[in-house]
Chains A and B, each alone.
Chain A
């Protein structure tokens, strides 16, 4: 049975199509200001790219912050549930997940059946999220996609001590004017995110194997900083960014 999952995040909208556990296709677009339209568009595009029509998709589940604006979905689940389902499908051994998205970060623990045992979310604050990285990329005039690679060159990461995105931005600006190397500043930013996420995850008590999901998983700098902070190996799936949508599609098959 073909099913679809649609994950409307604060920055990007993701869609995934699966057929009895097999991934047929995925798509990522920017959410923009209209979440409802983004849901429709990303769904239509993923169908088009995979030469499918709407009739062939039997069930649709929506998730993410805009989950309730996807009117054509059969059901909606929170991204916690969907990331768990997605990660478990990709690797049955996974027991913990760290999901860093645009608007928030979460840590999730799974039981042996891939069900959510417990979770924590970041405090209502942008530090420790993808949005934090976006703000910093703008301040540093670096393309966000290059962030990870650049930071790996750093030998002496800068110290970013502020807990607030806005203050951290001015801290970064003063580091720039002090002449600190760009790679060190970026590495410092990654360490600051990793510290935030790690202390949140510590409240929950992570168990290995640990997988990272969400758009920020594409940033190798954040992942390696997190590995260091947690003292754990982190599994990065090639589907990390669309993991929520994938999970939603898998859950749709159970409806």
Chain B
């Protein structure tokens, strides 16, 4: 009883802090990522007070129907990134291992599963979900991970199954995924006890599309030399397109960010002073080492100008029909970067190599993320064959800092940069 009262007061405090933040934001000319994220998480953590529902959803899942139903989406993967960046991943993964989960499992899954039991991590755990939405376009682990959480929280789970698009996307696949969207709407109607608002979904879909276009435009500024932003900046600014896709906030923030980057271009300011070498990054960031890596590459006058990871949140733009969001969403969700064959992935990588005019390709072989890391060696070989640029493979993990060995990675990067410098000087 005592615990319940203190929990209630904590929630009231979080609610008030969020309201206060939202109020003060009105008077701020430039609203920061921190502002948005604080309001977002405080709203989610006090959802019970305001009567709103909370849904946990996978990063590649269709969030727009949730926004249309006024449900607050929460991303355990975004939380995993925060856990990694706060260097709490090792501890939480270890805790999951104590619970019996294998150390070979994804570190997002491990830290989320254990965090739920102790309300640990940088923000004291995620708000309790009312439902879970899992889309397997990013990996197979999410199925079991979400099933575990559905049992733990005793809440309904919706699974959207997207067939793997090895070489092509067929009509049958389209119908199969599209039919599940109808089931998804029914699921949400049942969970919320109200009719699905299709008109609002069209509006949200429109905002989502606009948001993705803006995000792509922000990333495109890195084509400029020197690049006004690095992939490390993209890793940071990514949070909004992931968590608040389909809202006006995203448009406001990225409109500002785009003008900020354009201003840097106009003034000739680069993310890395003396940018001499431009590199492309592959896979999820090593969250616990972003600063170290950023400084390491910068010390060689190298800028990671682009990456395959943050591009994923606008990579399926070509399939979205702004005026027919629901029908095109099926294809856009099935054909994301992690759900296509190696040849197609390599093709996208090569497009990025040309677009951003990079001198090298750095691949993070991520122990956690099997679908992202499996096949990297083939992609590397294709890139070496097609573009002849040096590639570097770094073995690490996105969240579990126990897998990182600094001196070995340091030597690899130094040696790699020696090759890049020599190649470029030869030209």
Q: Do B415 and A124 touch across chains, with their CB atoms under 8 A apart?
A: no
Q: Do B412 and A121 touch across chains, with their CB atoms under 8 A apart?
A: yes
A78 at the interface (CB under 8 A from B): yes
Give the CA-CA distance A123 to B395 in the complex, in Å.
7
Which residues does chain A contribute within 8 Å of B407, judged by CB atoms?
A: 65
Nearest-neighbour CB distance to chain A for B162, whole angstroms, equals 32
Nearest-neighbour CB distance to chain B for A211, whole angstroms, equals 18
Q: Do A124 and B419 touch across chains, with their CB atoms under 8 A apart?
A: no
A81, closest chain B residue (CB): B418
B408 at the interface (CB under 8 A from A): yes
B249 at the interface (CB under 8 A from A): no
Q: Which chain B residues in 391-421 approach chain A with CB under 8 Å? A: 393, 395, 403-405, 407-408, 411-412, 414-415, 418-419
Which residues does chain B contribute within 8 Å of A121, judged by CB atoms?
A: 408, 411-412
B172 at the interface (CB under 8 A from A): no
A77 at the interface (CB under 8 A from B): yes
A239 at the interface (CB under 8 A from B): no
One digit per residue, 1 when the CB lies within 8 angstroms of any chain B CB and 0 when it does not, for chain A 154-165 equals 000000000000
The binding surface of chain B is classed by DSSP as helix
B171 at the interface (CB under 8 A from A): no
A203 at the interface (CB under 8 A from B): yes
A79 at the interface (CB under 8 A from B): yes
Give the CA-CA distance A78 to B419 in the complex, in Å.
11
B16 at the interface (CB under 8 A from A): no
Nearest-neighbour CB distance to chain B for A233, whole angstroms, equals 26
Give the CA-CA distance A77 to B422 in the complex, in Å.
13
Q: Which chain A residues in 79-125 approach chain B with CB under 8 Å? A: 79-81, 103-104, 115-121, 123-124
Which residue in B377, B393, B403, B418 is a CB contact (below 8 Å) of A80? B418
B390 at the interface (CB under 8 A from A): yes
Q: Do B411 and A203 touch across chains, with their CB atoms under 8 A apart?
A: no
The binding surface of chain A is classed by DSSP as mixed
Give the CA-CA distance A121 to B393 in the complex, in Å.
9
Q: Which chain B residues in 347-405 approach chain A with CB under 8 Å? A: 377, 384, 390, 393, 395, 403-405
Which residues does chain A contribute within 8 Å of B411, judged by CB atoms?
A: 65, 78-80, 121
Give the CA-CA distance A115 to B419 in the complex, in Å.
8
Give the CA-CA distance A65 to B410 in the complex, in Å.
9
B393, closest chain A residue (CB): A120
Q: Which chain A residues in 30-85 approach chain B with CB under 8 Å? A: 65, 77-81
Nearest-neighbour CB distance to chain A for B362, whole angstroms, equals 14
A118, closest chain B residue (CB): B390
Which residues does chain B contribute within 8 Å of A80, judged by CB atoms?
A: 411, 415, 418
Which residues does chain A contribute within 8 Å of B404, judged by CB atoms?
A: 124
Known: A121-B408, A124-B408. A78 touches B415 (CB 8 A): yes
Give the CA-CA distance A116 to B421 in the complex, in Å.
11
B367, closest chain A residue (CB): A123
Q: Do B415 and A115 touch across chains, with their CB atoms under 8 A apart?
A: no
Q: Do A124 and B395 touch across chains, with their CB atoms under 8 A apart?
A: yes
Q: Do A78 and B418 touch across chains, with their CB atoms under 8 A apart?
A: yes
Give the CA-CA distance A78 to B408 in the complex, in Å.
11
Q: Do B415 and A116 touch across chains, with their CB atoms under 8 A apart?
A: yes
A68, closest chain B residue (CB): B410
Which residues does chain A contribute within 8 Å of B384, judged by CB atoms?
A: 118
Nearest-neighbour CB distance to chain B for A67, whole angstroms, equals 9
Give the CA-CA distance A253 to B407 in the complex, in Å.
27
B407, closest chain A residue (CB): A65
Which residues does chain B contribute within 8 Å of A103, judged by CB atoms?
A: 408
Nearest-neighbour CB distance to chain A for B327, whole angstroms, equals 44
Which residues does chain A contribute within 8 Å of B419, judged by CB atoms?
A: 115-119
Which residues does chain B contribute within 8 Å of A123, judged by CB atoms?
A: 395
Nearest-neighbour CB distance to chain A for B425, whole angstroms, equals 11
Q: Do A203 and B422 touch across chains, with their CB atoms under 8 A apart?
A: no
A10, closest chain B residue (CB): B407
Which residues does chain B contribute within 8 Å of A120, judged by CB atoms?
A: 393
Nearest-neighbour CB distance to chain A for B269, whole angstroms, equals 30
Which residues does chain B contribute within 8 Å of A203, judged by CB atoms?
A: 377
Nearest-neighbour CB distance to chain A for B234, whole angstroms, equals 27
Which residues does chain A contribute within 8 Å of B415, judged by CB atoms?
A: 78-81, 116, 119
Which residues does chain A contribute within 8 Å of B377, judged by CB atoms?
A: 203
A66, closest chain B residue (CB): B407
Give the CA-CA distance A80 to B408 in the complex, in Å.
12
Q: Do A104 and B418 touch across chains, with their CB atoms under 8 A apart?
A: no
From B393, B405, B415, B422, name the one whose CB has the most chain A CB atoms within 10 angstroms: B415
9 CB-based A-B contacts, threshold 8 Å: A65-B407, A77-B418, A78-B415, A80-B418, A81-B415, A104-B408, A116-B418, A116-B422, A124-B403
Interface residues of A (CB under 8 A from B): 65, 77-81, 103-104, 115-121, 123-124, 203
9 shortest A-B CB distances, which residue pairs? A124-B405, A80-B415, A78-B415, A78-B414, A81-B418, A124-B408, A116-B419, A78-B411, A123-B395
Interface residues of B (CB under 8 A from A): 377, 384, 390, 393, 395, 403-405, 407-408, 411-412, 414-415, 418-419, 422
